[in-house]
Structure 1
Amino acid sequence: MKLTLKMIAIAAAIASMAGAAHADLTPANTGNGSLAVVAFNTATRDFYIRDTGFFINSFLPTGITTLPGDGNAIGDKTPETGLMLNKTNTTSFADPTFGTWLGAQDATSVRWFVTASDSISTTQSGGVARAITSSATALTASNGQVGNYAASGNAGNLNTLAGGTPFSLSFSAHTGAPGTFDSNFGLGSLSLASLNQSVGLYYLVRAQPTGGLANPASVIQYGNTTGFAAVTLASNGDFSYSLAGAPAAPVPEPSTVWLMGAGLIGAVGALRRRKSADQA
């Protein structure tokens, strides 16, 4: 019975981690935009967008808590125990359509990034903006850049690129990728990744409601005390998120265990002899 309950608990935990594709991508002006993967051909301008099944509030670093206006979401994606999300436990992290799309591309010209945003996040002092994105280099951003990133004309509403066409997991065979893709909506071209390249993931928040390019935003790289997390888009279309956990305590060798036991027995014997001498 205990084993059955344990298996049920494990299944429930996996189900809670796994994302589910939606009819369309939720825009940033809802306060909880969809987390998506964007790939595009820098030469032909063909592009592809994948719905990971997660939202900005369901993919926060562990310990990050949003304010009531953002649903009091609590982050859980950078635990000390580590975390691996891939096609095995997250169905929408795999998409056969990507292989079809890539077959018509020169793979060396394909670049990709992860994106999610919130343009109306609320604080006690006013509205701010938030975003999640990947980057191949250490990422910094200003308040103004985060605000522009989450705007409806940029990452804030990827659905407009599909002409309002609903999709359950992804849409491809689209041309005319906007120039904003080349800079990851203003965060810099160096943040773009190549296929099969593992890169960092970042959570960005305007540090204050006002302030432009001169005012730095809060930038948190996903990771724990063991190291930083990595996201990867493989050439077969599989997407993954990986974070190593803290190493387990080493198991003592049998000889070490014997010596520890012998030492403990010796210590107990000495204590008994001392007690007997005191009583004599």
Structure 2
Amino acid sequence: MLIEQKKTMSIGRGALLAFAIMGVCSQAEAGAIASSNTTLSNFAIGFSSPNSISFNGFSGGNASITAPPGPFGGAVSSAQVSGNGASTGTNTWVGTFFVNTPTSVSFSFSADSNLVASLTPGGVVSAANLFMTISINDLLANTSAFSWAPNGLVGGIVGGVETSDAFDLNYGITQFGSLGTTSFQSGNGLFAANSSLLNPGFYLMNISMSNSAFVSSGGLPVASVPEPSVLWLVGVGFLGFLIARRRCWY
């Protein structure tokens, strides 16, 4: 009889330990996802005195802009990453030009951006960003003649006038400290600006567009509350342990 009681007690304790381990080990895997995408279309550059311009330029990344003046199509920049790591997509266009008689430069284009930052259990942080700037520098005077970083508000431009600024093209989102998804979807928007008159001289134009994404996972488990089924199994194991103890008393 004593042997049977010891066997019953050992089974109860074993069940309790096994079910408790099941509860501890039933954590979800870590995860974080981020993506950032921007598409430009109908990109155009014009000059108020086009006959005064001698232009040379080149592009990098996936840009489809070619030597102005005229329409230049568009460009795409994207970055996606999951788990742990970072990603960057960049497009640049650089051109030099001579001005013989004072001229202003006009820019117009459409843009569509999509940012997503998501955390699942175990994810630490997820972030997505986009950036875009257009600048003109006077190379002989070594000064900035025009600087534009669209931010969704008309104004805030150096060396010119902004006429359309649909949304912020220098923007970021972050998901941190809680599970869920943060997103930004702009829809297609119009951007337009004109520089002030550029005096005769030698100039450098730089159009820079980039998207970045960053994620980190592997933190402490976020979901620490056991599921109802796990609680029931642990309860059964504990009940078996009590029964075994009761038999030992007799």
> Which category describes the TM-score, using the shorter chain as reference length?
under 0.3
More helix by share: 1
Task: Please give the TM-score of this superposition, normalised by the length of structure 1.
Answer: 0.25
Task: Please give the TM-score of this superposition, normalised by the length of structure 2.
Answer: 0.27
Name the larger-Rg structure. 2
Greater RCO, CA 8 A, separation 6+: 2
More strand by share: 2
